[in-house]
Amino acid sequence: MAGKATETLFDIEPLPPFCSIEKAIAAALPVLQPRARVKVSQTAPRRMIKSGGQWVPWRADVAPYMTEPMDVTTSRRFDSIAFVGPARSSKSEGLVINPLVHAVLAQPRVVAMFSPSKGAAKEWSEGALDELIRNSPELKAKLGTGKGADNIFTKKFTGGTRLTIDWPVGDKLAQRSIALCIGTDYDKFPADIGRNAEGEGEGSAFNLMRKRTEDAGSRAMTIVESSPRFPVIDDEWTPDTPHDVPTVSGGIVPLYAKGSRGRLYWTCPHCAHEFEPRFDHLRYPDTGSAAERGAAAFMLCPSGNGCVIEARHKADLNIGARWLHEDTGGALVPLDQLTREVATASYWLPGPAAALASWAKIVSRFIEAEGVYELTGDEGDLKSITNVELGLPYLARARAVSAGLSVDALKAGATDHAWQVAPANTAFLTAAFDVQKGRFVGQVEAWSLDLERVVIDRVDVVNPPDTAPNPKGRRIQPEMYGEDWDALLPHMLKSYPVAGADHALQILATVCDLRGEPGVTPRARDFYRKMRLEHPNRFYLVMGKGKDTTPRAVLRTPESAHRGKEHVARDVPAITAGTDRLKDEVAASLMREAGGARKLNISKYAPHEVFAEYCAERRYEGGWAKRPGQLRNEALDLSVYSLALVIVLEAEALNHENPPAWALPGAGNMMAITLDKSEYRDVTGGQTKPEQAPPKPPKKSGWAVKKPKKRNW
C-alpha cells in the first residue's frame, strides 16, 4: 500500500523548465510591435484561399468590388459595415476572413466572429477557419501553442489578437469589450436576442454587437453580411431615391437603408454608360430548355443604345466598376465624397455581378423556379432564387394575388359548370371536411388529369345520425360523440353524375381536419380506425401547419405514443399540410384567368358563402390570416385539404397517356357506376359493380414518408 501511495504521489506531470529572460523578452516582443498602417486589401494576399482544389494566395482581382468594403473595416469615420449580396460573391471572404487576417497579421485586437447558431459556429471553426490557418503559413506561425490557445471557440495569436467564435445569444453579447465584431449570414440571426415568453428581448444582434465595440473608440468596427431573407411587406412600394429599398420586416436590409446606401456600377464597354448590373437587365430567349435559355443570356445596357454585354465581359467590368453612395438629395458619389452623416457604410451587390456565379446558372434556375410556380403556385423555389442568387428580398406573389381576391372578382370568373354534376372530363372526385362547433362543413371537387378542378358541391352536416345517442333535438357534437362521425358516411359514399354521360362517379377519397374543439382529435382517430376496416383508403385525416418551410403535404405516422404533452396514436397516420404554401397555390389557381392545368373553378351556381369564404384571408408577413371582421374561411381551408390529399395520393405524377383505373376519365373508371337513362341527379349506393378500394398512399417509414417513386399508374 505504501508503494502505491508513493507512486500516486509522485506520478504527476513535471513542471516546465525555467525560461531564460532572453526567450521571455523575445516572446513578448510581438505584443510591443506597433500597429502596421496597411489596408486590409494589402494584408489579404498574405493568406491562402482554396481554389480548384488547390491552396493559392488570395487575389483581389477575382472579386475586385470587395476591395472598398474590406478597406472600410479599418475606417475611423464609420463604426459599422452592412453588406447585402448574393451567394458566391466572396462577401464572406472579403468581410469575414480578410478583416480577421488583418487583425492577426497587422493590427492585433480582440475579435468576435458570430455565426447564426452554435452548430454553425462550430462548423465554421473546425472547417473554414482551421483549414485556413493550416494552409496559410503566416497565420499558422502566429497561432498560439499554450494551453487554451487553440480551441474550437477560442483562438489566441502571438501579438495579442484573441478570436472568439460565437453565436447570437444574450451572454455572448453582454458585458464584453470587443474591438471588431463580425456577423456572417446575418438574416439567419434571431430578430430579438434573448426574447422571453412575454415577448421581451434585448434588441437586435447588430445593435448589441455595436455596443460591445464602444470601448475601442474610433477604432471600433462592427461588420455584418448576408443575403436578404426577410420578405417585402409593402407590395405597393416605389423608390423615392435612386438607392431606396423596399420595406422588409427585419434583417440586413433596414441596416443598409440607414447607411450610406452604396451600389455597384459598371461602365458599358460600348457606350460608356454607367449603370447597375441588375437581373432585370438580363435578356434570354423565350423558348428552349431552361439550360439552353440560360446559356444564351446576355445583359442589355439600359442606356437605350441597344448595347449587348456578354457574360465573358463580366470580369473586366467588375475590375472597372465603382461603388456609388447616396448623398443628400439623392446625389450619387464615391464614399470619400459623401457628406451625409451616417455611421454605417452600407453596400448592396446585385446577383449578376457576383464573381463566382454564372449568368447561365442564375437565369436557368430562375426559369425553373418560375416553371414550378406556374405549375403548382408554390413560391418556395422563387423565393430562394431571389434571395440567394439575385441577392434581393422577395415580394410574395401570393400577397398580390390575395389582395386581388374578392367576391366580385371570383363571381366574375365563375364558370357554367352544373352544380352537383361532375364535368365530362372528370378523372376523380375528392371530398374535404372541416370540423366546426355543431357541424361538419364539406366540399366536393372534381379533378381532371391535369389537376384542373371544379367545386361541385357544398354541404353542412348538422344533424346526428339516427344511430347516435339522443339524436333528436340536438345538433351534431363531433367533439363529444364518436357516433356522430357516422354522419359523414353518406357523404363519403356519395356519387355524382357525369355531364353528358350515363354514369356517375363515386368520391375517390375524403379528407377531414384532425383538430377542433377539445375532444375532436381522439374521436377523429376512432372514426379513422373504423373507416380503415369498412372502407379502406377512402378516409384520411389532415392537420394544417403554417410557415413557408413546412412541406406541402406529407403523410406521417407518429413514432412514439407521446410527443410533449400530447398523446399520439401510433396506429393513425395523418397528413401534415403546409397551409401557407398550399393557400398560395390555391389563391394562384383561383386568380388564373384562363382554364387549364391547376386552375380552380367555382361554378356560378355555388352558394354565395363559397365565394365569400375564399376571400376571407389575406397573405401577410407571417403567413395567411383572416381579414378583420371575417369569421368563416371554410371554402379556402377545404380546397387546401383537398390539394394536400391529392399530393399524398401522388396524383401530381399521373401518366396522362396511361392513367390508373381510379383516374381514368369515362365509364371505365373504377369509381364509376352506371345510371338509368332517366337519372341525372346524384345517386347514393346502388352501384352495379362491387366497391373497389382506391389506391393506397405511399408506404410509410417511421415518422416521415419516404420520397415516393413515380409510378406508371
**For residue range 417-444, what is the model confidence (pLDDT) as tens digits?**
999 999 999 999 999 999 999 999 999 9
Closest Cα partner for 585 from 644, 507, 626?
644
Give alpha helix (H) positions in 144-233: 205-212
Closest Cα partner for 422 from 401, 405, 447, 396?
447
Give the lowest-confidence range in 90-104, 190-204, 332-346, 481-495: 190-204
Instruction: Band the pLDDT of 571: cuts 50, 70, 90.
Output: confident
Non-local (6+) Cβ contacts of 699 within 8 A are 705, 706
C-alpha span between 96 and 124 (Å, rounded): 11
> How many other CB atoms are there within 10 angstroms of residue 633's CB atom?
21
The CA-atom distances, in angstroms, between 207 and each of 121, 211, 227, 251, 260 are 20, 6, 19, 12, 17
Pairing of strands 574-578, 282-283: unpaired
- Give the residue extent of every domain in the chain: 26-194+201-261+335-357, 404-690
Q: Which three cell numbers stand for residue 452?
A: 384542373
Give the lowest-confidence range in 353-367, 617-631, 647-661: 617-631
Mean pLDDT on 280-297: 96
Find the farthest-apart pair of alpha carbons in the chain and give their distance in angstroms, rounded. 113
210 within 8 A of 204, measured Cβ to Cβ: no
Give alpha helix (H) positions in 445-575: 489-492, 520-534
Under DSSP, is residue 218 helix (H, G, I), strand (E, B) or coil?
A: helix
Closest Cα partner for 278 from 205, 216, 359?
359
- pLDDT tens profile 433-478: 999 999 999 999 999 999 999 999 999 999 999 999 998 889 999 9
53 within 8 A of 61, measured Cβ to Cβ: no
- pLDDT tens profile 123-162: 999 999 999 999 999 999 999 988 889 999 999 999 889 9
501 within 8 A of 667, measured Cβ to Cβ: yes
- pLDDT tens profile 673-689: 998 754 444 433 333 34
Mean pLDDT on 568-572: 77
Query: CA angle 522-528-529, nearest 5°?
Result: 95
Mean pLDDT on 92-118: 96
Q: Which three cell numbers stand for residue 214?
A: 464602444
C-alpha span between 240 and 248 (Å, rounded): 16
CB-neighbour burial class of residue 153 (10 A; exposed 0-12, middle 13-18, buried 19+)? middle
User: How long is the chain?
Assistant: 713
584 within 8 A of 396, measured Cβ to Cβ: yes
Q: Which residue has the higher pLDDT, 231 or 386?
A: 386
> How many other CB atoms are there within 10 angstroms of residue 709's CB atom?
8
Number of H-type helices and E-type strands within the chain: 22, 34
The CA-atom distances, in angstroms, between 225 and each of 67, 128, 188, 391 are 15, 17, 11, 12
Query: CA angle 375-450-551, nearest 5°?
Result: 50
Instruction: Band the pLDDT of 699: cuts 50, 70, 90.
Output: low
Q: Which residue has the higher pLDDT, 487 or 201?
A: 487
The CA-atom distances, in angstroms, between 151 and each of 32, 129, 162, 164 are 25, 11, 12, 9
Closest Cα partner for 348 from 68, 115, 71?
68
Non-local (6+) Cβ contacts of 347 within 8 A are 68, 69, 81, 82, 83, 84, 85, 256, 262, 263, 264, 323
The CA-atom distances, in angstroms, between 322 and each of 165, 276, 341, 438, 669 are 33, 10, 21, 67, 66
Amino acid at 359: W
Closest Cα partner for 98 from 62, 145, 151, 144?
62
Pairing of strands 308-309, 298-300: antiparallel
C-alpha span between 304 and 226 (Å, rounded): 33
- Examine the pLDDT at 709 and tell me if it is beyond 50: no
Non-local (6+) Cβ contacts of 686 within 8 A are 673
So what's the pLDDT on residue 25?
Answer: 63
So what's the pLDDT on residue 706?
Answer: 35
Using only C-alpha atoms, what is the Rg of the chain? 32
Pairing of strands 494-497, 683-684: antiparallel
Amino acid at 476: I
Give the lowest-confidence range in 219-228, 276-285, 403-412, 600-609: 403-412
293 within 8 A of 363, measured Cβ to Cβ: yes
Query: CA angle 469-472-478, nearest 5°?
Result: 50
Q: Which residue pairs, CB below 8 angstroms and at least 24 apart, start in 230-239?
A: 230/187, 230/393, 231/383, 231/393, 231/394, 231/395, 231/396, 231/621, 232/393, 232/394, 232/395, 232/396, 233/621, 235/395, 235/399, 235/400, 235/403
DSSP state of 134: H
Instruction: Band the pLDDT of 37: cuts 50, 70, 90.
Output: confident
C-alpha span between 206 and 197 (Å, rounded): 22
DSSP state of 345: E
Q: What is the mean pLDDT of the chain?
A: 88
pTM here? 0.72
Amino acid at 485: W
- The topology (CATH level 3) of 26-194+201-261+335-357 is Rossmann fold (3.40.50)
SS (H, E, C) 305-330: CCCEECHHHHHHHHHCCEEEEECHHH
- pLDDT tens profile 640-657: 999 999 999 999 999 999
183 within 8 A of 208, measured Cβ to Cβ: no
SS (H, E, C) 563-613: ECCEECCCCCCEEEEEHHHHHHHHHHHHHCCCCCCCCEEEECCCCHHHHHH
